[in-house]
Structure 1
């Protein structure tokens, strides 16, 4: 695996105890881990983005292990995202997030059958991105449709990429819109 040039790692942990007008039965823990990395393709077009694909594999494992250390074994939801500095291109984020990041992420979690939802955009320092979340074993579990925001005041610089992974140990607070429940998940196809 290709190890990236990392400027910094940011870890954000939330413990939600109350939402709206009601206390939660148990706190919901959410964790986002972001790496600010040097974009090896900044400033020029390249047909082969293999170095970013390898970096994605490395970060899938590295960042997820940080989150697991924060949340423990009971991770139910996941998501990923990237903000590409203005000297890069959107496809640079895709090269990190899609071909190889997911497998080591799932291995570090001990599983996950559902597709890992993702988002990406270009922008400068302070650009925000909502990293989508859903249940890790079945994409149609509505109780876990959510997002965590990543925004770093000093990143990404023009030649950087912010790569983020997000996790929760439960669904949204007070879910009540119906649909497939965690207790009904078959976990065979990643959908139901």
Structure 2
């Protein structure tokens, strides 16, 4: 797929809710605006070209996002796709749910937990909320967060905005949720 634009967004949060964040929390997203050669055509069932493109572009975006963290190790990651209106939502799902995660995990040499992913249809300037979750522990509440990205003028009807994001943790995270074992026990009781 042809790349029209690459954007790297960095959020450095030094204060949250009237409290300093030390060290500042970082979120970084690498985004690519890609031409969608199948836009305007009937939906297809073969997504291999989308998956292959996502891996190649994912390697580039992952590298750019990690560089933007300035060497700080991420504890959270996420991915997302915003498909222009002449495309197929399933193209976005194929780009984020099949193999892009392998590129992300390879770069950080970690990633036992499922990578949260969001795919939706939208037009130029539409917001894409990237859900972030723990890299090795999906139950790490301090890693659970969201990063919103928006690219002015993208995606056009015949484009896809593909994004990967990493973060050092939610600013001033301080909640304790139910443990994995508590939830498993509850579900087991509910199922009888």
TM-score higher than 0.5 here?
A: yes
Query: Secondary structure at 1:95's aligned position in 2?
Result: helix
Report the counterpart of residue 62 of structure 2 in structure 1: 64
Pick the structure with more helix per residue: 2
Give the deviation of 1:180 after TM superposition.
7.5
The structure with the larger Rg is: 2
Aligned length: 177
Given that 2:24 and 2:171 are in contact with CA atoms closer than 8 Å, whether structure 1 keeps it comes out as no
Report the counterpart of residue 141 of structure 1 in structure 2: 140
Deviations 1:116-137 (A, max 9, x none): 0011110110111110001100
Query: Secondary structure at 1:13's aligned position in 2?
Result: strand
The runs of at least 4 consecutive aligned structure 1 residues that moved more than 4 Å come to none
Q: State the TM-score, normalized to the length of structure 2.
A: 0.88
CA distance in 2, matches of 1:155, 1:132: 20
Q: 2:73 matched to 1:96?
A: no
CA distance in 2, matches of 1:25, 1:124: 37
Report the counterpart of residue 112 of structure 2 in structure 1: 113
Task: Note the residue ranges of structure 1 that are not aligned, 5 or more in a row.
Answer: 182-192
CA distance in 1, matches of 2:62, 2:141: 23
Given that 1:141 and 1:180 are in contact with CA atoms closer than 8 Å, whether structure 2 keeps it comes out as no
Query: Secondary structure at 2:57's aligned position in 1?
Result: helix
Given that 2:144 and 2:170 are in contact with CA atoms closer than 8 Å, whether structure 1 keeps it comes out as yes
Report the counterpart of residue 43 of structure 1 in structure 2: 40
Report the counterpart of residue 188 of structure 1 in structure 2: none
Query: Secondary structure at 1:96's aligned position in 2?
Result: helix
What is the root-mean-square deviation of aligned Cα atoms in Å?
1.4
Report the counterpart of residue 15 of structure 2 in structure 1: 18
Report the counterpart of residue 190 of structure 1 in structure 2: none
Query: Secondary structure at 1:11's aligned position in 2?
Result: strand
Given that 1:73 and 1:109 are in contact with CA atoms closer than 8 Å, whether structure 2 keeps it comes out as no
CA distance in 1, matches of 2:32, 2:59: 12
CA distance in 1, matches of 2:155, 2:108: 27
Query: Secondary structure at 2:114's aligned position in 1?
Result: coil
Please give the residue correspondences for 1:24-35 in structure 2 after superposition, counting only pairs within 5 Å.
Answer: 24-35=21-32
Task: Note the residue ranges of structure 2 that are not aligned, 5 or more in a row.
Answer: 180-192
Report the counterpart of residue 182 of structure 2 in structure 1: none
Q: 2:80 matched to 1:81?
A: yes
Deviations 1:150-189 (A, max 9, x none): 11110000110000111112x21222221389xxxxxxxx
